[in-house]
Amino acid sequence: MDALYMYFPVSGVKTWVFLPPLVAFLVSFFTSMGGISGAFLLLPFQVSFLHFTTPAVSSTNLVYNIVAIPSGVYRYLREGRMAWPLTWIVIVGTLPGVFIGYYLRVIYLPDPRAFKLFVGCVLLYIGARLLYELTARSQRSKTQMKALDEKFKEQVKRLKDKQAARVSAGLPPEAVVKTISFSLSRVEYEFWDQRFSFSTPAMFMLAFMVGIIGGTYGIGGGAIIAPFCVAVFHLPVYTVAGAALLGTFLTSIAGVFFYSVIPAKSGLSTAPDWLLGFLFGAGGFLGMYCGARLQKFVPQKLIKVTLALLILFVAGRYIAQYFLT
């Protein structure tokens, strides 16, 4: 059995070699359905179960994103569900935020206990926002989104009845994202015969703030961008998912660069554990591909409830540890 254990000298982690990819597969399979890479849950796993607590855990988490995300992005690109204007705004806004987030992590949050509190607060917001979306008050004015979800359900039923060999085989032409207008003030696109729009400056500012949080945490930002786009900008999760994943992928590359080349204070480890990150990424690569492929078979409500409960559980534990220890 010892032969199946591996020691990672950069992080100091010793674990069963198949554990990182297995955990990453399970996490990313479900989170990718909502446009989230799953890195926000893998970081608590590394901190709490693998006892990897230095700032290098943030950059290692970003390596996971780089390896895992392309498979999910590929599925969304192939099925025409990539909202390109949203993607570019997310990327341009997030990049400078990631740079600031790096400095916040290494200067103000090197202590594991304080970092866990920060992580818990971020997760608490994400989980609470997702749960709010399920309340009657939130759903009152969303007849358009409900109609869109019903169209997906009807199409999925037809696909199942026909025993389609390929998930995308029976999608009609209107089930792809079509950009109507893209300007410095507003973006509008069409999806399944319905139009959606949002303010370009507002989305840019959201992406900038998310970049700071994501760079500090080590998640790239998709875990916050995706729920916020659905909850505040009222965009369908079917069109947000691909944009959030691609934006997270590119900003994660920038984050790893910052953590690897910018010098930190003496003795502080910030460069990623590449081998551990690649193992997580390998499992995430398969999980995201499967999750993106099967997303349209899963109702939005189920995706939100599952993610919200899991996120709130982890958030509660991390916030509690700060005050009880």
Q: pLDDT tens for residues 245-275? A: 888 888 899 999 999 998 777 677 889 999 9
Give the containing element (helix H, strand E) for 9: none
d(CA 55, CA 38): 19
Q: What is the pLDDT of residues 48-60, one digit of tens each?
A: 899 998 889 999 9
Task: Check residue 158 and give its pLDDT.
Answer: 62
- Closest by CA to 167, choosing from 82, 80, 293, 70, is 293
Q: Could you tell me if 38 and 253 are in contact, meaning their C-beta atoms sit under 8 angstroms apart?
A: no
What 146-151 contacts at long range (C-beta under 8 Å, 24+ apart), as own/partner pairs, is: 147/194, 148/191, 148/192, 148/194, 148/236, 148/238, 149/299, 149/300, 151/192
Distance CA 84, CA 178 (A): 9
Question: Who contacts 222 (Cβ-Cβ below 8 Å, separation ≥6)?
Answer: 35, 36, 37, 39, 214, 244, 245, 247, 248
Confirm if 226 and 195 have CB atoms less than 8 A apart: no
Rounded to an integer, the average pLDDT of 89-107 is 91
Query: The tokens of 215 are what?
Result: 């760079």
Contact 256, 66 (CB under 8 A): yes
CB atoms within 10 A of CB 67: 21
- H/E stretch holding 182 reads strand 177-182
- Residue appearing with tokens 């930002």: 221
Contact of 285 with 71, CB cutoff 8 Å: yes
Rounded percentage of the chain residues whose pLDDT exceeds 70: 84
pLDDT recorded at residue 163? 44
Q: Where are the domains of the chain?
A: 19-135+188-324
Write out pLDDT tens, residues 112-168: 889 989 989 988 987 887 787 777 766 655 555 556 566 656 655 665 555 444 444
